[in-house]
Structure formats: C-alpha cells, structure tokens
Amino acid sequence: MSAENAGRLLLGFPDYSESAQKLARAAGLDFAEIQVHRFPDGESLVRLPERLPEHVFICRSLNQPNEKLVELVLAASTSRKLGATKVALVAPYLGYMRQDMAFCPGEAVSQQIVGNLLANLFDALITVDPHLHRVHRIEDAVPAPFALALTATDAMSDYLGDKLQNPMLLGPDEESQQWVSAIAQQNRLEFHVASKLRFGDSDVTVSLPDADYRGRHIVLVDDVISTGRTIESAIAALKPHQPGSITVMATHALFAGDALARLKNAGADDIWSTDSISHSTNRIGLAAVLAPAISGLWGS
Ligand code: R5P
C-alpha cells in the first residue's frame, strides 16, 4: 500500500472475496473481509475491523440482492461508527435496476427505491454496465453525491482479441447494440443486432437480421444472462444457418436456475463472462476497469 492510500481500505464480503481482493491489489489498497454470521432465523450479523480509516470502499456485487442489501445497510452504518468519514459502494453488478417503472398499477418502482436507499447509505457508487433502460443516467437511478457507471466493453474486446478467426458479433436485442457495437468497433469486426420479443420471464423469441452466418464464428454479446432464454433463443435462430461456432460473451453472469445447462444444450461452444458476479464462466477480470475509478475518488 502506498503512503497516499494509508487512509483508505477496501472491505469485501465472503461471497465476492476473491474478486474484491484482486481489486484491492489493483488499486493499491489494503483489504479486509467483513465477517457475516447468519442466525438460524435468517437474520445477519456483520462484523467489520474494529477501527477504520477515513475512506472505506465496500465491494459487493448485488446479484441475489435481498439479504445483501440488508447486510450493506448494516456495514455502511457501522463503517461510519467505526471512524469512516466517506463510504463508497463498489458494486460491479448493481441489482434492482431493471424495474424502472410500474408496469402494472400498484407495482413498486424498485430501481428508484433501492437507488435512494443506496444513495442515503453511501457517499459514492461505482458500478459496471448497469441495466438502465428508461432512466439513462446512473446518477438519476442512484442519486448519491457521486455515482459512476463504468463499462466492461474494453475488457471484453481485449479478451476477445484474436481468439476467433474473423468473428461476427451479434446482439440479441436492441438494448445490446451499445455493447456489441463498442466491442465490434474496438476490434474492427462485423456486427449485427437481432430483435427480441419477451412474453414472460422464460418466454422469449429472438429474430435474426439478414446476414450470412454460415461458417462464421458468431459471438453473442449481452449485458445480462439471467434465465438464459434470450441467448438460448438466439442460438436456436442461428443453428439452421450452420455457423462455424457460437460463443457467448456476457457482462453479468446471473445464470438463474438451469440457465447454464440450457445454453450448453442449445449449442453454445464457449461461454465467457466478466467477474462482476462470481461464476464458473468468469474469464474477464474487472479489477483493471474498477481500480482507476477507486484511485481517483476523494483525491487519494
Ligand atoms: C435485456 O434487455 C437484457 O439485456 C438481457 O437480454 C436480459 O436481461 C437477459 O435475460 P434472460 O437471460 O432472462 O433472457
């Protein structure tokens, strides 16, 4: 740890400890793990180091977010009691961003409510490719004094590199255009964007645009894989065109239920994800993406 980082510490939770430690190393910060005890009734006890420096970065990805949010409330409040004057949340995956409006009367607008909760708890938020749709700016979703949304597309482009011969990138829906085009442009690759109709959580149809897919190495790019149905449907649409191979590249590997098995069964030859969520498909580390943002915060 360098002298200018003496008043700064990165805290991680056991569920994301390995990536949090990599991040601490990349940012030149000391690391400590927050201890979590789950009582038999489901309540959580969190324990932080006894004394904290002025600036504390709590790193936790908010997949499976319900218990994690309560534990973040406990950890952020306790950080201040233990001496931190500024507390940041580094959430490589930020949950609850998709429900940005009430689709039916009476529904909670989760993005706004969870965003306000985090903004009240933390002085800063750093995240990666949050799923923002109708609300476009992270600071509108999480109105903390400082909120920054980084992108994983450079790291994904670098990882893709020349692994495949003249690949063709394909986004499964309109929203994916931003990521697929960024990766394609960096590597000067052909890309296309499909259209998607979603009828329910697990009911998705993807229609491909006209292109010559035969024999090509296709890389399907999306921000989130949750049920896997979007990518599964895209693979099903591609198969009759006899592509040379199908690789899936995603930022946030939620992989709910049997999603991973479904994609393998559908014919995905390879699946690569970033480590925004710890998962067996992780190939692309985000420490180098996140570390400069941490280093630049609060004038280290
Ligand atoms: C939606 O717009 C997102 O970009 C993803 O395509 C979607 O969240 C993937 O969900 P699933 O894996 O459940 O189809």
Task: Please give the model's pTM, rounded to 2 decimal places.
Answer: 0.95
Beta carbon of 225 within 6 Å of any ligand 1 atom: yes
Domains identified in the chain and CATH numbers: 3-151+285-299 (3.40.50.2020), 153-275 (3.40.50.2020)
User: How high does pLDDT run on average in the chain?
Assistant: 96
**Ligand 1: distance of its center to the CA of 87 in Å?**
31
Beta carbon of 100 within 6 Å of any ligand 1 atom: no
Is it the case that residue 14 has pLDDT exceeding 60?
Answer: yes
Q: What is the pLDDT of residue 133?
A: 87
Q: What is the pLDDT of residue 299?
A: 78
Q: Which atom of ligand 1 is least distant from the CA of 232?
A: 14
Confidence of residue 6 (pLDDT cuts 50, 70, 90): confident
Beta carbon of 123 within 6 Å of any ligand 1 atom: no
For residue 135, give the DSSP letter: S
Beta carbon of 224 within 6 Å of any ligand 1 atom: yes
Q: For residues 121 and 252, what is the distance between their CA atoms, to the nearest angstrom? A: 24
Is it the case that residue 68 has pLDDT exceeding 80?
Answer: yes
**Ligand 1: distance of its center to the CA of 66 in Å?**
20
**Ligand 1: distance of its center to the CA of 229 in Å?**
8
C-alpha distances in angstroms, 292 versus 27, 153, 243, 288? 7, 16, 39, 7
| Angle between helices 65-81 and 110-121 in degrees, nearest 10 | 20
Q: For residues 30 and 11, what is the distance between their CA atoms, to the nearest angstrom? A: 9
Which residue, judged by its Cα, is nearest atom 9 of ligand 1? 225
193-246 confidence digits (pLDDT tens) = 999 999 998 899 999 999 999 999 999 999 999 999 999 999 999 999 999 999
Is it the case that residue 31 has pLDDT exceeding 80?
Answer: yes
